Structure 1
Amino acid sequence: MTAIRPLDLKLSVMIRIALGALFCAAVTTVLVVSDTRLELVRSLESKSQSFGTYLSLQAFRADAASGQRDRFPDWQFLSEEVLDEGFCVEVSDPSGGSIYASCRGAGGRVTAPPWFSQLYRALLSPGPSIRRGLDARGNTVGAVAVSLDPAAGAARIWHEVGRIVWIVVGSVVLLALIAYLAIDHAMRPARRMLAGIERIAGGDLSCRLPPVRLIELQQISTVINAMAARLATSLAEREELSRRLAIAQEEERRHLARELHDEFGQSLAAINAIAASVEATAEGSCPELIPEAQTLSDIAIRMMGALRSTMARLRPAVIDEVGLVESLRGLVAGWNSRLGRTTRFSFAATGSFHELPDAAAVSIFRIAQEGLTNAARHAEARHVKLVLERLPLGDAAQAGAGAVQLMIEDDGKGCDWERMPREGAGLRGMRERIALFGGRMALGRAGFEGTRLSITMPATVPAKAAA
């Protein structure tokens, strides 16, 4: 699926406002230019009609009054009273020869830039001059041509366009500022919601998003809160079920170990005793049976050893007999007897653990078993240290009777924690077992090398799990 590039909401809205305003400005500019050009055309026609009417009347009066021909046309009146700024007028005789021409420039303060003047001449000019004939008593006495100075026309249109540009720029800036402030104010609850969502994503399912005024954000907040509540309920139910399964598993292991001890253990002991009796009887009456009796006795002894090992894995009987501390001490002694030449295992315990619930004690023992096994197999360490400590109430993360901390530390080759592969079944099993009892687990580097595994579990088991 194609990744979508994120875009800031405020920036997106401001861009949309600017594009919309520019489109409106372009349309408005076209309309203003068109209206201004049409107004210039009408002005030309009006001026042409005014000049033609005045000069025809002047020619009529001059022709009617003797001795007044030399006063046609009245140049001073044309240039001072009739001719406006930006217009040009040319009067010609009947043969087409020019007898008077005048052009009053733009005369204004606004001048169009050269590129706009060229655009005006190419596309926006109202056209050539408008020419009208002059008649006096039915005779043609000349003609008048009125035109618009190109600089004045370009300046006029540029002035109108400039007003639109300034209005558009001011409107865009004002709208962008208003949109920025409005969106920033509206998105403040969204930032608080985002902080709450990050807490929920981090595992704090008790967090709830705050109520907000915007209906859309409130709907999102309601859905996320309901989802977090359902997820918290589901996780609590799953943890409760897992705790019950773990406790039931330990009870089943205890029952199975007891049955193996009572049934198979006694049967193997009886077989061994019968084999010894057969061997003693065969010494006098049938010496040929002695090797078979000894073989039978050896098989019974090996089976009893395997049975004891199986029962120890199913249920460490020493926990019931001598407690958690001595069980861990015996576990460490077993590893020293097997690997003492290459790796030295040590154990230290601080505090009292007699009132620790049976389920928590068994879980700590199982975690210690797995941790020491991992250190022995993978660490290549010279020394492995196992520490069991009872944390006082002030240092415990959970309220109640404090917590128990188990730490396994080695000086082995360690691990590249940044590139550590996915956790194996052993570590996942430890995390799940710890989570069942509301504990936490930390795995990291021990000093400059080696590995440290630290777990903390409450000294009390939840009431439902202990039921």
Structure 2
Amino acid sequence: MWNRPRFDLKVRLTLRVAAISAACFAAISAYFLITADRAAHARIDSIAAIVAKSLELQQGKVQWVAAPRADFPNLDPVAAYVMTPGLCLAVRGTDGDMLQRFCSGVPPATPPPQAFTAFYRSLFDPGREAARPVIVRGAKLGDAVVWLDPTVQTAEAWHEAGRLMLALAIALPLLCVLVYAALARALRPTHMIRTGLERVAAGDLTARLPPFDLAELSAIRDVFNHLAESLDTALAERNELTRKLIALQDEERRHLARELHDEFGQSLAAIRALASSARQTAAQDCPALLGECDGIARTATGMMETLRGALFRLRPPDVEELGLVASLEGLVAGWNGRSRGETRFAIRFDGTFETLPATISANLYRIVQEALTNAAKHAGATKVSLELTMRPEEIALAIDDDGRSADPAGKSGMGLLGMRERVAALRGRLSFEPGPNGGSALRVVIPLAAADRPVLEHAA
């Protein structure tokens, strides 16, 4: 399954705030650039109107005194009042020729970057001229033309944009730090929520979340606590049902063992007795039947040995009287005796088990019994090792074998299901995985506090 990359929520929200802030700064910068461009065009339009009016007055004065002057048009009087760096004034005749032109000097300044210059000129067309006609007594004498030097206008725009970019460079990191700190503080309870979920996932249904300041997190807290309580109740009910079902199963096993011992066992004993009697008769009257009588006796003997093994599995030794250690040692010795060298079983104990509660001892014996059966019969293991370790607050069981780790009967059969049910009823943990060097590895951990809860009864 494809895994999408995961990002920290604080980082993601901070980046989004930074992106929105940068977009706002860009919009503000665009607004200022557009406003500055419109103000510049409005200014040169007004200057062009002033220049045109001044030239009309000059021409009117010349005609009024009837003494034409050779210096018309003269832009010096109006230039003294309106000239700024980069501003150009001109008078264009009716034939298109420039009659007079006057431009102020451009002050030395740091030129803007070429990228900004190209971007600005593609959008705003700096240097565009503003023209106003010069009309005297209904006759057009020419046009008053005003424009700004493109370099100066672009540099002024860059100066304005540069101040905004400097403000952005200072404010944006500071804003990101403040937003991240605020989010980290607001989302601090999520660590507690995660810890609570991990405890529930590990089987600790007593985990509860404290109240939170945020309404959204408080809603999560209410749902979490309600879910944990519901799961705890459901698990307790399930464990009680499991206890009753397995107790019923053990009772059925005891009943079946009694029936086999009383009925089937006596029948086999009678068959052996009859075979012995028939052999004695055959030895006197018909020696040819001696082989058949011996075969019947051997078959009955084999069936009785098989019956003893079945009765032993159905009715194990009393763990309360013998103790868990002696019972497991006897179980392992019995498997070693029946294996005839094909499978070797080894067991090791670490700790003191005399004070172990009887409920845990009885169920551990059943778990080990089922695990050994799976390893020997279903997984085909040739070597099985068991280790039982007593810890301060729990008891751990480890069983490793070299059999077929993918055997369905060992993984999903009724044996493993029964072990899981017993472990769950004891509020423990069970894992069944392929071993590091092949085979299978069964791990069981049962808390000693499970003895204080309603758990499985000991099956004698």
TM-score of the aligned structures, taking structure 2 as reference length: 0.73
2:32 maps to 1:36: no
| Preserved CA contact (<8 Å) 1:93 1:143 | yes
| Preserved CA contact (<8 Å) 1:134 1:144 | no
| Preserved CA contact (<8 Å) 1:407 1:452 | yes
| Preserved CA contact (<8 Å) 1:91 1:101 | yes
| Preserved CA contact (<8 Å) 2:131 2:143 | no
Which secondary structure does the structure 2 equivalent of 1:204 belong to? coil
Matched with 1:150 is: 150
| Preserved CA contact (<8 Å) 1:63 1:69 | no
Matched with 2:393 is: 397
Relative to structure 1, the CA distance from residue 90 to residue 440 in structure 2 (aligned partners, 3 Å threshold; closer, same or farther) is: closer
| Preserved CA contact (<8 Å) 2:87 2:148 | yes
Equivalences for residues 420-431 of structure 1 within 5 A: 423=411, 425=413, 426=415, 429-431=418-420
Relative to structure 1, the CA distance from residue 300 to residue 318 in structure 2 (aligned partners, 3 Å threshold; closer, same or farther) is: farther
Q: Distance in 2 between matches of 1:436 and 1:262?
A: 33
Q: CA deviation at 1:167?
A: 4.7
Q: CA deviation at 1:214?
A: 1.6
Q: Distance in 2 between matches of 1:465 and 1:183?
A: 49
CA deviations on 1:154-205 (whole Å, 9 max, x unpaired) are 3344444444444555554454333222222211111221222122222222
Percentage of matched positions with identical amino acids: 35
Which secondary structure does the structure 2 equivalent of 1:133 belong to? strand
Matched with 2:233 is: 233
Relative to structure 1, the CA distance from residue 337 to residue 179 in structure 2 (aligned partners, 3 Å threshold; closer, same or farther) is: closer
Q: CA deviation at 1:208?
A: 1.9
| Preserved CA contact (<8 Å) 2:85 2:104 | yes
Mark the runs of 5 or more structure 1 residues left unpaired by the alignment: none
Mark the runs of 5 or more structure 2 residues left unpaired by the alignment: none
Which secondary structure does the structure 1 equivalent of 2:213 belong to? coil
| Preserved CA contact (<8 Å) 2:132 2:143 | yes
Matched with 2:213 is: 213
Which secondary structure does the structure 2 equivalent of 1:90 belong to? strand
**More moved, 237-246 vs 125-134:** 125-134
Relative to structure 1, the CA distance from residue 67 to residue 199 in structure 2 (aligned partners, 3 Å threshold; closer, same or farther) is: same
Q: CA deviation at 1:84?
A: 3.9
State the structure with more CA Rg: 1
Matched with 1:256 is: 256
Relative to structure 1, the CA distance from residue 78 to residue 289 in structure 2 (aligned partners, 3 Å threshold; closer, same or farther) is: same
Which secondary structure does the structure 2 equivalent of 1:253 belong to? helix
| Preserved CA contact (<8 Å) 2:75 2:102 | no
Q: Distance in 2 between matches of 1:130 and 1:27?
A: 32
Q: CA deviation at 1:42?
A: 2.6
Equivalences for residues 34-433 of structure 1 within 5 A: 34-61=34-61, 69=69, 77-91=77-91, 100-107=100-107, 112-114=112-114, 116-117=116-117, 123-125=124-126, 127-133=128-134, 135=136, 144-170=144-170, 172-269=172-269, 287=285, 294=293, 298=297, 304-316=304-316, 327-339=327-339, 357=358, 360-373=360-373, 378-381=380-383, 395-397=391-393, 414=402, 423=411, 425=413, 426=415, 429-433=418-422
**Partner amino acid for 1:54?**
S
Relative to structure 1, the CA distance from residue 229 to residue 104 in structure 2 (aligned partners, 3 Å threshold; closer, same or farther) is: same
Q: Distance in 2 between matches of 1:22 and 1:320?
A: 76
Q: CA deviation at 1:147?
A: 3.4
Relative to structure 1, the CA distance from residue 461 to residue 272 in structure 2 (aligned partners, 3 Å threshold; closer, same or farther) is: farther
**Partner amino acid for 2:46?**
S
Which secondary structure does the structure 2 equivalent of 1:132 belong to? strand
Relative to structure 1, the CA distance from residue 29 to residue 380 in structure 2 (aligned partners, 3 Å threshold; closer, same or farther) is: same
Q: CA deviation at 1:388?
A: 7.2
Q: Distance in 1 between matches of 2:118 and 2:388?
A: 93
Which secondary structure does the structure 1 equivalent of 2:188 belong to? helix
Q: CA deviation at 1:25?
A: 4.2
Q: Distance in 2 between matches of 1:179 and 1:423?
A: 51
| Preserved CA contact (<8 Å) 2:430 2:444 | yes
Task: Give the superposed CA RMSD.
Answer: 5.0
Q: CA deviation at 1:47?
A: 1.8
**More moved, 367-376 vs 310-319:** 367-376
**More moved, 167-176 vs 146-155:** 167-176
Q: Distance in 2 between matches of 1:73 and 1:407?
A: 110
Relative to structure 1, the CA distance from residue 289 to residue 311 in structure 2 (aligned partners, 3 Å threshold; closer, same or farther) is: farther
Q: Distance in 2 between matches of 1:386 and 1:96?
A: 109
| Preserved CA contact (<8 Å) 1:59 1:141 | no
**More moved, 235-244 vs 158-167:** 158-167
Relative to structure 1, the CA distance from residue 397 to residue 324 in structure 2 (aligned partners, 3 Å threshold; closer, same or farther) is: closer
Q: CA deviation at 1:72?
A: 5.8
Q: CA deviation at 1:121?
A: 5.7
Q: Distance in 2 between matches of 1:461 and 1:141?
A: 114
| Preserved CA contact (<8 Å) 2:432 2:442 | yes
Q: Distance in 2 between matches of 1:368 and 1:43?
A: 97
Q: CA deviation at 1:249?
A: 1.7
Matched with 2:425 is: 436
Which secondary structure does the structure 2 equivalent of 1:260 belong to? helix
| Preserved CA contact (<8 Å) 1:37 1:126 | no
**Partner amino acid for 1:380?**
T
| Preserved CA contact (<8 Å) 2:422 2:456 | no
| Preserved CA contact (<8 Å) 1:105 1:149 | no
| Preserved CA contact (<8 Å) 2:90 2:144 | yes
**Partner amino acid for 1:180?**
Y
**Partner amino acid for 1:132?**
P
Which secondary structure does the structure 1 equivalent of 2:154 belong to? helix
Q: Distance in 2 between matches of 1:295 and 1:432?
A: 46
CA deviations on 1:280-323 (whole Å, 9 max, x unpaired) are 7x689x94699599579736655544443432232136769967
| Preserved CA contact (<8 Å) 1:40 1:126 | no
CA deviations on 1:84-103 (whole Å, 9 max, x unpaired) are 44322235789987664321
Which secondary structure does the structure 1 equivalent of 2:187 belong to? helix
Relative to structure 1, the CA distance from residue 444 to residue 65 in structure 2 (aligned partners, 3 Å threshold; closer, same or farther) is: closer
TM-score of the aligned structures, taking structure 1 as reference length: 0.72
